[in-house]
Amino acid sequence: MEKSKVYFTKEITPDGLTKLYEALGVELIGKVGVKVSTGEAGSKGYLKADLIGPFVQKFHGTIIECNTAYPGERNTKEDHLKVAEDHGFTSFADVDIMDGDGEFKIPVHDGKHLQYDIIGENFKNYDSIINLAHGKGHAMGGFGANLKNQSIGIASRNGKAYIHSCGQTDDPDQCWSVSYEQKDFIESMAEAAKAVADYLKENQKPIVYITIANAISVDCDCDAHQGDPVMADIGILASLDPVANDQAFIDMLWNSTDPGHTKMMERVDRQEGRHITEYAEEIGLGSTDYELIEI
pLDDT digits (tens, 9 = 90+) for 22-34: 999 999 999 999 9
Mean pLDDT within 232-242: 98
Between the CA of residue 233 and those of 20, 157, 268, what are the distances in Å? 17, 31, 17
Q: How far is residue 77's CA from residue 64's CA, in Å, rounded to a whole number?
A: 12
pTM for this predicted structure = 0.98
Q: How far is residue 51's CA from residue 34's CA, in Å, rounded to a whole number?
A: 14
What is the reported pLDDT for 2?
87
Q: Where residue 1 falls among pLDDT bands split at 50, 70, 90?
A: confident
Q: Which domains does the chain carry?
A: 4-231+277-294 (3.40.50)
What is the reported pLDDT for 180?
96
Between the CA of residue 166 and those of 111, 139, 216, what are the distances in Å? 11, 17, 27
Helices 182-202 & 157-164 angle (0-180, nearest 10): 140
Long-range (24+ apart) CB contacts under 8 A made by 247-255 are: 247/277, 247/288, 247/290, 248/6, 248/8, 248/290, 248/292, 249/135, 249/143, 249/145, 249/211, 249/213, 250/143, 250/274, 250/277, 252/213, 253/143, 253/216
Closest CA to 184 of 248, 127, 141, 121: 141
Percent of the chain with pLDDT over 70: 100
The single-letter DSSP state of residue 34 is: E
The residue length of the chain stands at 295
217 close to 225: Cβ distance less than 8 angstroms: no
What is the reported pLDDT for 126?
98
Q: Where residue 71 falls among pLDDT bands split at 50, 70, 90?
A: confident
Residues 6+ apart with CB under 8 A from 57: 92, 93
